């Protein structure tokens, strides 16, 4: 029974992992834009319901992936401190002492001085004055000259300690450099698509400002007549309401087609950038692990792509924002 329980648990874990929805699923679920968002009033609710449902699914997927790969920030921070301490010769015990909040400034200096003395360097206490700094620099230069002479007398030994290590890391460093370059190129492409969308929306907002003034001027007199005292008769009232609705359709038709074109362009960019988002999801973890010197996964590789899809879906919910509705003519 014990082994059966283990198998069942493993099965649950595997099925849970496979239950995750990748970006291609969400891209396939994006509803088509309405043919005429200014006239097809009956399609508003069904369309927005699809968008809302998809938005909820995206939020749930993102939350699940963030929860599965939630880094222990404190562990990574501690590891970074250890790596930095190792580079300057501090032991774990010394680092633990330095992290003690109750430690006085003098006690911290004493620990650092001990490390410097072990490296045959002058104590920090003697570098308070200008003369002390010069003395420290002189001792350091003497030490470095001795190291250099030792290397010249025994070049093979020098190479085995330093150059071989450098040669060992050279290939890895070149690979990381190439990854960083590739990352930047991908980010530039994504930024260019975002900038294009922003510019298009800025132009549309300018057009909206003009169209809004024209609409308000057109309906001002109609609304005065509609809400006059005494009020108009039923037939005149209906004519005024229809005239106001017509002006609303004119306003909507000036902006909605352009907005749909912007959304279509954004969708095409999202599709064309799919391979780039996928590659970015491979590059980022490698760079993060190398730079932070940790084996921990900092986030799910597809999160960046899911965020981009969610942003687009959010804009879909605004496709009817230029539709005036009947309330303007009530």
Where do we find the tokens 């999202």? 270
Are 106 and 203 part of one and the same domain?
Answer: no
Are 194 and 318 part of one and the same domain?
Answer: yes
Q: Tell me, what's the pLDDT at 77? A: 59
Q: Tell me, what's the pLDDT at 42? A: 78
The token duo for 207 is 């057009």
The token duo for 73 is 């920030």
Q: Tell me, what's the pLDDT at 175? A: 79
Confirm whether pTM is higher than 0.85.
no
Cβ atoms within 10 Å, residue 187: 15
Are 205 and 316 part of one and the same domain?
Answer: yes
Q: Tell me, what's the pLDDT at 266? A: 97
Predicted confidence (pLDDT) per residue in 132-152, tens digit = 555 656 565 565 555 555 555
Q: Angle 303-316/234-272 helices, nearest 10 degrees?
A: 160
Are 317 and 202 part of one and the same domain?
Answer: yes
- Distance (Å, whole) CA 256 – CA 87: 60
Predicted confidence (pLDDT) per residue in 270-295, tens digit = 999 999 999 999 998 888 777 766 66
Query: Is 18 among the domain residues?
Result: no
Are 196 and 318 part of one and the same domain?
Answer: yes
Q: Tell me, what's the pLDDT at 2? A: 38
Of 119, 150, 180, which one is at a domain's C-terminal end?
A: 119
Q: Helix, strand, or coil here: 279?
A: helix
Are 193 and 263 part of one and the same domain?
Answer: yes
Range of the domain at 50: 35-70+188-210+237-329
Query: Is 269 among the domain residues?
Result: yes
Could you give phi then psi for residue 151, rounded to 5 degrees?
A: -65, -40
The token duo for 177 is 């450099």
b/e for 31-63, b at 16 or more Cβ within 10 A? Answer: bebbeebbeeeeeeeebeebbeebbebbeebbe
Are 193 and 305 part of one and the same domain?
Answer: yes
Fill in the DSSP letter of residue 232.
P
Q: Tell me, what's the pLDDT at 6? A: 34
Q: Tell me, what's the pLDDT at 326? A: 66
b/e for 281-303, b at 16 or more Cβ within 10 A? Answer: bebbbeebeeebebeeeebbbbb
- Distance (Å, whole) CA 193 – CA 170: 35
Number of domains in the chain: 2
Q: What is the DSSP string of 266-305?
A: HHHHHHHTHHHHHHHHHHHHHHHHHHHT-----S-TTHHH
Low-confidence stretches of the chain (pLDDT < 70) are: 1-19, 69-92, 94-95, 97-99, 101, 111-172, 292-299, 326-330
Q: Tell me, what's the pLDDT at 16? A: 39
């Amino acid at each position: 029974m014990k082994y059966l329980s283990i198998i069942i648990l493993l099965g649950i874990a595997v099925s849970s992992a496979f239950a995750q929805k990748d970006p291609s699923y969400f891209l396939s679920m994006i509803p088509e834009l309405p043919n005429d968002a200014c006239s097809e009033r009956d399609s508003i609710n069904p369309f927005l319901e699809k968008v809302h449902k998809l938005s909820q699914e995206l939020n749930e997927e993102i939350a699940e992936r963030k929860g599965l790969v939630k880094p222990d920030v404190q562990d990574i921070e501690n590891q970074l401190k250890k790596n930095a301490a190792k580079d300057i010769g501090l032991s774990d015990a010394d680092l633990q002492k330095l992290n003690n909040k109750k430690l006085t400034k003098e006690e911290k200096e004493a620990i650092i001085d001990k490390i410097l003395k072990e490296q045959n360097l002058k104590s920090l206490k003697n570098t308070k004055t200008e003369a002390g700094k010069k003395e420290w620099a002189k001792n350091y230069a003497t030490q470095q000259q001795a190291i250099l002479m030792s290397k010249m007398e025994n070049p093979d030994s020098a190479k085995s300690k330093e150059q071989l290590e450098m040669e060992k890391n050279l290939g890895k460093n070149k690979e990381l450099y190439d990854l960083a370059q590739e990352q930047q190129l991908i980010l530039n492409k994504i930024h260019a698509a975002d900038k294009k969308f922003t510019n298009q929306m800025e132009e549309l907002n300018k057009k909206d400002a003009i169209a809004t003034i024209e609409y308000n001027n057109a309906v001002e007199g109609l609304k005065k007549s509609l809400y006059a005292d005494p009020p108009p008769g039923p037939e005149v009232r209906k004519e005024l309401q229809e005239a106001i609705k017509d002006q609303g359709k004119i306003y909507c038709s000036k902006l909605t087609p352009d907005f749909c074109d912007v959304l279509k362009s954004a969708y095409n960019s999202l599709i064309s950038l799919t391979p780039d988002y996928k590659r970015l999801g491979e590059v980022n973890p490698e760079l993060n692990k190398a730079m932070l010197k940790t084996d921990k996964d900092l986030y799910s590789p597809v999160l960046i792509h899911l965020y981009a899809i969610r942003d687009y879906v959010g804009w879909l919910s605004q496709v009817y924002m230029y539709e005036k509705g009947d309330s303007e003519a009530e």
